[in-house]
Structure 1
Amino acid sequence: MNFLLMAIAASVLVSVFLKLARRADLDIAQAILVNYATALVLCLWFLRPDFSAEVLRGADFWQMGAPVFLLLGVLLPSVFVIMAKAVAVVGIAKSDAAQRLALFLPVIAAFVLFGEVLTASKAVGIALAFVALLCLVTKPNAKPSTKLANAANTNNSLAAHSSAQPKTTTKTTALLLFGVWVGYGVIDILFKQMSKLGSAFSVTLFISFALALVLMAGYLLAKRTVWHDASLAGGVLLGALNFANILFYIRAHQVLSDDPTLVFVGMNIGVLTLGAFVGVAVFGERLGRLAWLGLVLGVAAIFCLFWGGF
């Protein structure tokens, strides 16, 4: 559980950074570009990827690792762009709900793809988790806490920086929210799959960051971005926090390999819970009764899932 707790803490720190970065008028898109470059350096420094022929020619790398790094490398920057567009078109609340409810996909994958056994306690925990999420993402009066609680993945928080756009068709709105929902759900599943790669894990993570860096750079260059030194510098801190978030999240999956739902649900509920408390204590935000109920149910859900694994 220690790795999961550290992943939650790192994710919430990412949100705190992004909240302060917006106040400082930093360009978040530029920060995320440097974030990937920083993650590459940290990956080399701490994980020391093994680029030996033995690993690169191994079945784990090509049969399991290659699909993971190709999908992650494309999805990490792409979902950022989709989320930004969704926030601009339908608002933060609905986009946030779509991202959080993406938890449905990795939970299903835990039993269908990863062979987890469904017990009565886990079933209750999963049910409580989704009720808690509904309580937490339902915000009758839009409050600033939305931004801080929006942390299980860095890219969701980055999207809140987007400016408003004109209304679009219902079909476009549905496609955007569907893209957010599928994108974040698949990313969670891919991180779980990466945790199973053994010696190929660090190489796969490194290539994922490298591909995301190239695609994000291409996106910003295509937009003819005017570079901002402070934004680029801020990306170094963002990258350190995001690397810690991803690394500890994958380590949690490795340690709790037989209980992926505990990691999936624990990360989502944990980030929302800690983020909400930080919002109240540090930024003076307020939570409604429904949100407090969601926090209580979320803690109960994690307890049921943890207990159900024994």
Structure 2
Amino acid sequence: MIYLLLSILASTLIFVIFTLFGKYKINTLQAIVINYFTAFITGIVSSTETLSVNEVINKDWFYGALFLGFLFITIFNVMALTAQRNGLSVASVASKMSVVIPILFGLYAYNESLSILKTIGILLALFAVYLTSVKAKTGKVSLKNLWLPILLFFGSGTIDTSIKYIETTYVSENGIPIFSATIFAIAGIIGIVIISAEAIKGKLKLDLRSVFGGIILGIVNYYSIYMLLKALQVDSFESSNIFTINNVAIVMLSTLIGLAFFKEKLSIKNWSGIAIAILSIVLVTLA
């Protein structure tokens, strides 16, 4: 149970860190790049397997890791912008609702059944993303920022689906730490390319705070995944229960932190969206 609690706290802390980046004007891109190299180093240190660069490149999963590396840095930036512009609750709900995408993929690729509960849960998830995106002051959806939670929703779902497919098809049990570390490294390299382009244009201003923030984010990012995997290894808990508790707790804790520490204001529609989000997660996961 302690692993699940630590996973919930770490995952929620990622949203909090992104919000703090925006509040204190920390360069998010620089911090995210540092984050991935930190997560890469953490993964390598935690791994019992050692491979050369050539061995990694020749792995069957390498091209999948390239694709995921691109998605990781892209969606992490989207997550940061969503938390900063739309709020913690919107970012957490949009990312957690993406669980419906790997479920839909499972229906097609693995011939899984589509029950009434799953169908209702998927539809409720989409509706919840809309409701939580309605601003409290105007009562309307900001079309300018609506693309952020939508992109976060589909991007996070694509990442989860791709990881599940690649790990199931190409990655051995002992190769998971190296596979994960490779994804982090590729995401970091892509970030370096982007930052180098800014430097060439003369737009780069190195922010030492982003280095410190990126190191903290990288450690939290790695252990949010590590602790969840450890929780899933506990035989006394079914994985469906673990995912339900994990996702619902992250949404609720993010919302409470947003209200208590960042003075976020939620309308009745926002609260309704969060409630529907929790219901949809339960229905989809337990269906």
Smaller-chain TM-score range?
A: 0.7 to 0.9
Q: State the match for 1:127 in structure 2.
A: 123
Q: State the match for 1:206 in structure 2.
A: 181
- How many angstroms does 1:68 deviate by? 2.5
Q: Does 1:40 align with 2:40?
A: yes
Q: State the match for 2:266 in structure 1.
A: 287
- Pairing 1:172-183 to 2, within 5 Å after superposition: 182-183=154-155
8 Å CA contact 2:231, 2:242 repeated in 1: no
- How many angstroms does 1:214 deviate by? 1.1
**Gaps spanning 5+ residues in structure 2: where?**
none
Structure 2 letter corresponding to 1:125: G
8 Å CA contact 2:56, 2:62 repeated in 1: no
8 Å CA contact 2:4, 2:231 repeated in 1: yes
8 Å CA contact 1:106, 1:189 repeated in 2: yes
Classify 1:247/1:34 alpha carbon distance in 2 versus 1 (closer, same or farther; 3 Å).
same
Q: Considering only aligned residues, what root-mean-square deviation do their CA atoms show, in Å?
A: 4.3
- Pairing 1:146-295 to 2, within 5 Å after superposition: 182-196=154-168, 197=171, 198-224=173-199, 225-248=204-227, 263=243, 270-295=249-274
**Gaps spanning 5+ residues in structure 1: where?**
144-167
Structure 2 letter corresponding to 1:41: I
Q: Percent identity over the alignment?
A: 24
Q: State the match for 2:114 in structure 1.
A: 118
Classify 1:73/1:27 alpha carbon distance in 2 versus 1 (closer, same or farther; 3 Å).
same
- How many angstroms does 1:229 deviate by? 1.6
Structure 1 Cα separation of the partners of residues 241 and 100 of structure 2: 10
8 Å CA contact 1:195, 1:250 repeated in 2: no
Structure 2 Cα separation of the partners of residues 271 and 75 of structure 1: 22
TM-score (norm 2): 0.73
- How many angstroms does 1:288 deviate by? 1.2
Structure 1 Cα separation of the partners of residues 64 and 5 of structure 2: 25
Q: Does 1:22 align with 2:22?
A: yes
TM-score (norm 1): 0.68
Classify 1:57/1:189 alpha carbon distance in 2 versus 1 (closer, same or farther; 3 Å).
same
Structure 1 Cα separation of the partners of residues 94 and 271 of structure 2: 20
Structure 2 Cα separation of the partners of residues 86 and 46 of structure 1: 31
Deviations 1:163-186 (Å, cap 9, x if unpaired)?
xxxxx9xxxx99999866653332
Classify 1:186/1:302 alpha carbon distance in 2 versus 1 (closer, same or farther; 3 Å).
closer
Structure 2 Cα separation of the partners of residues 132 and 82 of structure 1: 19
Residue 68 of structure 2: SS of its match in structure 1? helix
Residue 223 of structure 1: SS of its match in structure 2? helix
Structure 1 Cα separation of the partners of residues 231 and 124 of structure 2: 22
Deviations 1:30-60 (Å, cap 9, x if unpaired)?
111110111011102223345389x9699xx
Classify 1:270/1:133 alpha carbon distance in 2 versus 1 (closer, same or farther; 3 Å).
farther
8 Å CA contact 2:258, 2:264 repeated in 1: yes
Structure 2 Cα separation of the partners of residues 86 and 307 of structure 1: 28
Deviations 1:128-165 (Å, cap 9, x if unpaired)?
3333333222335379xxxxxxxxxxxxxxxxxxxxxx
Classify 1:295/1:23 alpha carbon distance in 2 versus 1 (closer, same or farther; 3 Å).
closer
Residue 113 of structure 2: SS of its match in structure 1? coil
Structure 2 Cα separation of the partners of residues 50 and 252 of structure 1: 25
Deviations 1:174-204 (Å, cap 9, x if unpaired)?
9999866653332121232355332222221
Structure 2 Cα separation of the partners of residues 137 and 32 of structure 1: 24
Classify 1:274/1:78 alpha carbon distance in 2 versus 1 (closer, same or farther; 3 Å).
same
Structure 1 letter corresponding to 2:18: L
- How many angstroms does 1:76 deviate by? 1.9
**Paired positions, count:** 271
Classify 1:113/1:3 alpha carbon distance in 2 versus 1 (closer, same or farther; 3 Å).
farther
Classify 1:222/1:191 alpha carbon distance in 2 versus 1 (closer, same or farther; 3 Å).
same
